[in-house]
Amino acid sequence: MQIISSKDNEQIKYIRKLKDKKFRDETNEYLVEGIKLVKEAIEENVIIKMIVICEDCDNDGTLEQSLLYEIAKYNCIYVTKKLFNTITDVVNPQGILAVVEKGDNIEKIDYSEEIILALDGIQDPGNLGTILRTADSANLKQIILSSDCADPYNPKVVRSTMGAIFRMNIIVTSNLEKTLQMIKKHKFEVLATSLEAKESVYDVKYNKKVIIIGNEAKGVSREIQDLADLKVKIPMLGKTESLNASVAAGIIIYEYVRKKVKSD
């Protein structure tokens, strides 16, 4: 078994370049890191181009034998611990990462779903990843992102999704306003959160709704607010005036889930 130790190795340089969004877009590839994410990528039949394993993790029993059998079916390279530490994106790495294809995200919106989630300028990678994970937990299969959102294939976003990214169709639109206008033609109503709204998120029927989650600092943009058919707020009993974007998304998504479970 050959163990790579040089930082000038072409494969290692390629992996480092995948930390850059422009290169991810050019290659249609991104990185997943950690035992759980690599296992999920295998289970979800994601196209895996390469798996990188730290030699120490292979030797010390960190990786289960069953996983080693699975990853042996792929193009694997082994690297020294020192070299792995130069390509990892986490503080305490588990010694395994993979280069995977983004897949064929279908730009066509599926109008058969009861609700569609759209994000308007979400900037924080952790927030974006958590929202994707929450949407997946509610069995939502697609999400629309404005072009000024954080890159969904940023390593921090990918880790935060805990594998949900493999199951979501991510549609990035260059013009969210026009995309929403098109969705409205399919008899969907646009629902935006607003601190000035009179209706609560608990007063709404979540059928054929596009739920807009706005930017962490500015909320839903004025242009999108003007498009909204409904404006709602999350009731708060304390002095806090607003919630974290991923928390707000979770509350609304799970109000949809609660009503769906109750009606079923």
Residues 151 and 257 in one domain: yes
Q: 189 falls in which pLDDT band (50, 70, 90)? A: very high
Which pLDDT value is given to residue 61? 56
> Domain with 200 in it: what CATH number?
3.40.1280.10
Query: Any residues with CB less than 8 A from the CB of 173 and at least 6 apart, and which?
Result: 144, 145, 146, 147, 179
> Is the distance from CB of 180 to CB of 224 less than 8 angstroms?
yes
Residue 110 inside a domain? The answer is: no
pTM of the model: 0.90
Instruction: Express each pLDDT in 173-185 by its tens digit.
Output: 999 999 999 999 9
Residues 86 and 122 in one domain: no
Which of 70-74, 110-114, 205-209 is least confident? 70-74
The rounded mean pLDDT for the chain is: 91
Residue 142 covered by a domain = yes
- Among 76, 101, 126, where does a domain finish? 101
Residue 6, helix vs strand vs coil: coil
Q: Domain check: are 202 and 83 in the same one?
A: no
Same domain, 154 and 239: yes
Inter-axis angle of helices 245-263 and 125-137, to 10 degrees?
0
Residue 147 lies in a domain: yes
CATH number, position 57? 3.30.1330.30
Q: Is the dihedral of CA 133, 139, 142, 146 positive or negative?
A: negative
Provide the domain limits for residue 210.
Answer: 115-263
For the record, the structure tokens of 29 come out as 């590839």
Specify if 32 maps to a domain.
yes
